[in-house]
Amino acid sequence: MEKNKAILPNILTWARKKSPWILHFNSGGCNGCDIELLSLLTPSYDIERFGILNEASPRHADILVCTGPVTEQVRPRLKRIYDQIPEPKWVLAVGSCSCSGGVFSGAYNILGGIDKLLPVDMYVPGCPCRPETIIDGIIKLVESIQ
């Protein structure tokens, strides 16, 4: 029994690393990163070979992938979606405006980057990011899971 307790967290970490499911949310971006993120699903990039699945419901996801800066209207929604994701959870900020507000910083309806609202685990810069960059970001995040 004692031995099992020690093994269980290892198994869970192993399982999480093997199948990180992502939830994509556009928090106010221009679409550029979104279409690059979606092209990850297609045959040219095919992220499913890493066990990554684009999931539609926050309750099934491990990683929240945000594209775009946080707008005022989206802010409560983003917080709610983050709260709905079961622990442990990670946040990936994709794109320059998602990292810092980027070109939109200073606008009246923009709060700034995702880290103004949520704890971000990995930043993927680029305007817009290439699909390879996004894959790299997700893989690096998964590798960092302890």
Partner 1 sequence: MTRIVVPIGPQHPLLKEPISFLISLDGERVVNSSLRLGYVHRGIEKLAQQRTYVQNVYLIERICGICSHIHTTTYCQAIETLLGLDVPRRGLYIRTLLCELERIHSHLLWLGVLAKNIGLDTIFMYSWRDREIVLKMMEEISGGRVSHAVNIIGGVRIDLDADRLTMLESGLNDLNGRVEELIGTIERDRSFAARTRGIGKLTLEDVKSFCVVGPVARASGLDIDLRRDAPYAAYHELEIEVPVMNEGDVWARSMIRMREILQASRLAKQIIRTLPKGPVSTTAPRKVPPGEVVSRAEAPRGEVFYYLRSNGSQQPERLKIRTPTLTNLITLPEQLKDVQMADVSAVIAGVDLCIACADR
Partner 2 sequence: MKMENILKKLIDALGLDSPTTMLGIPTEEHVLQILPTQLLSVVAKLGEYGVWHLSTITCLQDERFILLYHFWCFGNLTLRIELEPDDLRVPSICPLIPGAEYYEREVQEMYGIEFQGLPNPQPLLLPDNWKGGYPMRKDEHSNSSAAGEDRSKKLKGGLS
Task: Answer yes or no whether residue 48 interacts with partner 1 by CB under 8 A.
Answer: no
Instruction: With CB under 8 A as the rule, give the number of residues binding partner 1.
Output: 38
Q: Is 83 in the site for partner 2 (CB under 8 A)?
A: no
Q: Which does 4 bind (CB under 5 to 8 A by kind): partner 2, partner 1, none?
A: none
Binding mask 86-125 for partner 1 (x = CB under 8 A): -----------x-----xx-xxxxx---------------
Binding residue for partner 1, selected from 20, 29, 112, 137, defined by CB under 8 A: 29
Q: Is 53 in the site for partner 1 (CB under 8 A)?
A: no
Q: Which of 60, 72, 132, 144 binds partner 2 (CB under 8 A)?
A: 72
Report in angstroms how near the CB of residue 44 gets to partner 1 at its nearest.
5
The string of DSSP letters for 59-92 reads GG-SEEEEESPEETTTHHHHHHHHHHSPSS-EEE
Nearer to partner 1, 90 or 104 (CB): 104
